[in-house]
Amino acid sequence: MSDADEYDEVEPAEDCEGAEGAAVFPLIPDELGVDPLLLAVLHTVVFLDGSEADLVHPAAAGEALEYLATYLQRLSGPRLARVREDLEALAAYGRQHGWSKQQTRFLKDFLADYGVGEEGTS
The number of folded domains in the chain is 1
CA dihedral 60, 53, 37, 42 (to 10 degrees): -130
Tens of pLDDT, residues 46-64: 999 999 999 999 999 999 9
Which stretches of the chain are assigned E, i.e. beta strand?
none
Tens of pLDDT, residues 3-28: 444 444 433 333 345 678 888 889 99
Asked if residue 93 is part of any domain, the answer here is: yes
Asked if residue 62 is part of any domain, the answer here is: yes
Alpha carbons within 13 A on the beta-carbon side of 108: 10
Domain range spanning residue 45? 4-113
pTM score of the predicted model = 0.80
